[in-house]
């Protein structure tokens, strides 16, 4: 006997929900991606509680993958846990930000120097290619009127990360790449909220693309001292901008 129309409709909806729902083994990753994105975007303010029931309602996930994600985010210092009080978004600290930036400057600077010394033609192509991809989304995002769209900002951040990773990709050190990625993620947390407003966008427009182009050009030209110095200056300047915007936000 064929199913009735309501039964068929319910079956299609159930099948669609099954397709959209992440597989059981990826639920923890899905929860991690969702919470991390919301922290970086500022949807969860620094110091705000991350209650399991509220997260379950927001993402439609059970407690188990949510706890897994929160523990992972705690190991990355994006989330903190207090006994009997549960999880919270880690507070923003300008001192901690500078610690991360200065440490990243040391690691990425040495990684860039080694890559310049060891990198081949493929490395040069990767550096120039990732810069080109970054410049395209940058020009599109800032070439339109009004605020930057979330999709463009997401893509800008993704390509920005790929560009910086390419600079040190020929260093020959997996540990250097891992530490660099972790420190990049830490500084991303500070960078994202403050570059999401009009004042941050204006500061980005001033020299962001020119700085990144200059670093890439010196890198592929094998001018290691100049490239490393420019990278350090760019990272430090970003910290100064964030500190300035942070002070203005507090005031």
Residue finishing a domain among 89, 111, 139: 89
**Residue 140 φ/ψ, nearest 5 degrees:** -70, -45
Give a yes or no: residue 19 inside a domain. Answer: yes
Average pLDDT of span 147-155: 78
Q: How confident is the model at residue 11 (pLDDT cuts 50, 70, 90)?
A: very low
Residue 17, exposed/middle/buried by CB under 10 A (0-12, 13-18, 19+)?
exposed
pTM of this structure: 0.79
Q: Do 69 and 177 have their domain in common? A: no
59 and 103 inside one domain: no
* pLDDT tens string 111-120: 999 999 999 9
pLDDT digits (tens, 9 = 90+) for 15-47: 434 334 555 558 999 999 999 988 887 789 889
Together in a domain, 236 and 118? yes
Instruction: Output the domain CATH number for residue 55.
Output: 1.10.10.10
pLDDT at 140: 84
User: What average pLDDT does the segment 228-232 reach?
Assistant: 98
Helix (H) or strand (E) holding 156: helix 150-167
Q: Tell me whether residue 234 is in a domain.
A: yes
Q: Please name the helix (run of DSSP H) or strand (run of DSSP E) that holds residue 27, with its range, or none.
A: helix 27-41
Mean pLDDT of 169-183: 95
The pLDDT tens digits for 89-113 are 998 889 999 999 999 999 999 999 9
Residue 20 lies in a domain: yes
Residue 177 has pLDDT above 60, yes or no: yes
The domain in which residue 37 lies consists of: 7-89
Has residue 165 been placed in a domain?
yes
- Asked whether residue 2 is domain-assigned, the answer is no
| Per-residue confidence (pLDDT) for residue 224, from 0 to 100 | 97
Average pLDDT score over residue span 165-170: 98
Q: What is the CATH number of the domain that holds 166?
A: 1.20.120.530
Whether residue 138 is found in the same domain as residue 205: yes
Structural domain contains residue 235: yes
Of 7-16, 40-49, 67-76, minimum mean pLDDT range: 7-16
Quick check: 7 pLDDT over 60? no
Looking at 55, 89, 123, the residue that finishes a domain is 89
Q: Are residues 14 and 106 in the same domain?
A: no
Pairwise CA distance, residues 100 & 249, whole Å: 21
Query: Each residue of 117-132: b (16+ CB within 10 Å) or e?
Result: eebeeebbebbbebbe
Indicate whether 221 pLDDT > 90: yes
The residue from 70, 89, 108 where one domain ends is 89
199 lies in the same domain as 126:
yes
Look at the alpha carbons of 250, 200, 151, 155 in this order and tell me if their dihedral is positive or negative.
negative
User: In terms of domains, do 54 and 16 share one?
Assistant: yes
Query: Collapsing DSSP states into helix, strand and coil, what is residue 87?
Result: strand
The answer to the question of residue 1 being in a domain is: no
Q: Are 103 and 73 within one domain?
A: no
Is 81 found in the same domain as 14? Answer: yes
Number of domains in the chain: 2
Residues 40 and 113 in one domain: no
Cβ(159)–Cβ(137) below 8 Å: yes
């Amino acid at each position: 006997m064929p199913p009735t129309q309501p039964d068929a409709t319910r079956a299609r909806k159930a099948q669609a929900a099954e397709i959209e729902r992440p597989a059981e083994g990826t639920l923890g990753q899905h929860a991690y991606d969702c919470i991390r994105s919301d922290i970086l975007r500022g949807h969860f303010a620094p110091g705000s509680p991350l209650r399991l029931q509220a997260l379950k309602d927001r993402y439609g996930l059970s407690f188990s993958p949510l706890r897994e994600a929160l523990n992972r985010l705690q190991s990355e210092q994006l989330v903190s846990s207090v006994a009997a009080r549960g999880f919270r978004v880690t507070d923003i600290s300008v001192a901690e930000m500078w610690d991360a930036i200065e440490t990243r400057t040391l690691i990425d600077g040495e990684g860039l120097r080694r890559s310049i010394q060891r990198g081949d033609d493929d490395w040069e192509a990767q550096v120039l290619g990732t810069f080109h991809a970054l410049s395209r989304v940058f020009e599109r995002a800032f070439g339109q009127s009004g605020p930057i769209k979330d999709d463009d900002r997401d893509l800008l951040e993704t390509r920005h990360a790929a560009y910086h990773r390419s600079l040190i990709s020929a260093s020959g050190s997996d540990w250097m790449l891992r530490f660099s990625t972790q420190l990049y993620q830490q500084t991303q947390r500070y960078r994202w909220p403050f570059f999401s407003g009009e004042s941050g966008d204006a500061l980005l427009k001033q020299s962001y693309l020119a700085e990144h182009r200059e670093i890439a050009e010196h890198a592929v030209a094998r001018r290691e001292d100049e490239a490393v110095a420019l990278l350090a200056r760019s990272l430090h300047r970003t910290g100064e901008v964030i500190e300035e915007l942070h002070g203005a936000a507090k005031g």
